């Protein structure tokens, strides 16, 4: 037996530590928790992982996560089909849905433009977005890529591709609700000033 314990335990720790945000110590705690947990609880976790890998894929229309050809949003006939919100990753859809403010459709790019990392327009689902808009019926595309250098570059590239076809909007950026001005950095404050609007 090695200092890390039995080989199966060491393998579990190694696999858990490969997860994002999970370091060696956290992986060890999780592994020991699973070891102490009742069999049915530990096996349920394993089965959930297997099921998600076997049954969850990408929506054929918007490339969000789906358990069939279409995700639940694209399959929902009550959604506003004139608006498409463009996001980088499937995880970005969740916060929008939690707001209960947006009732349109989504389009997941699968990343952001980053030539330095070898990610070009052809590597993202931009052509598929242009095809969706080209079919007609869409009046607005909301660019909700992350407010990072790569996210901004992606938004500008898509806006250029859609110029003259539909209204293209960008999420407002600036100060979070409840924030103090003294804690805002210059870039955030500058974005808030540039995006100011009149009070009705």
Domain spans of the chain, in order of start: 71-170
Region 71-170: CATH code: 3.40.1360.10
DSSP secondary structure code for residue 9 in this structure: H
- Quote the pLDDT of residue 30: 96
Residue pLDDT, tens place only, 5-19: 789 999 999 999 999
Asked if the model's pLDDT at residue 2 lies above 70, the reply is: no
Alpha-carbon distance of 31 to 82, in angstroms, equals 48
Alpha-carbon distance of 25 to 31, in angstroms, equals 10
What's this model's pTM, rounded to 2 decimal places? 0.82
- Mapping DSSP to helix (H, G, I), strand (E, B) and coil, where does residue 25 land? helix
Nearest to 143 by CA among 91, 71, 92, 193: 92
Asked if the model's pLDDT at residue 84 lies above 90, the reply is: yes
């Amino acid at each position: 037996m090695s200092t890390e314990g039995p080989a199966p335990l060491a393998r579990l720790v190694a696999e858990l530590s490969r997860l994002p945000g999970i370091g060696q110590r956290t992986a060890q705690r999780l592994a020991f928790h699973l070891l102490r947990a009742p069999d049915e609880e530990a096996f349920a976790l394993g089965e959930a992982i297997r099921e998600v890998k076997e049954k969850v894929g990408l929506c054929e229309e918007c490339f969000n996560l789906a358990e069939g050809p279409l995700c639940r949003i694209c399959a929902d006939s009550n959604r506003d089909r004139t608006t498409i919100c463009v996001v980088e990753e499937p995880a970005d859809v969740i916060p929008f849905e939690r707001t209960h403010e947006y009732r349109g459709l989504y389009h997941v790019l699968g990343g952001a433009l980053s030539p330095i990392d070898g990610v070009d327009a052809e590597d993202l689902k931009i052509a598929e977005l242009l095809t969706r808009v080209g079919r007609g019926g869409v009046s607005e595309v909301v660019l909700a890529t992350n407010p990072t250098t790569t996210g901004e570059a992606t938004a500008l590239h898509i806006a250029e591709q859609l110029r003259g076809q539909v209204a293209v909007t960008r999420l407002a950026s600036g100060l979070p609700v409840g924030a103090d001005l003294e804690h805002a950095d210059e870039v955030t404050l500058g974005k808030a000033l540039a995006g100011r609007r009149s009070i009705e």
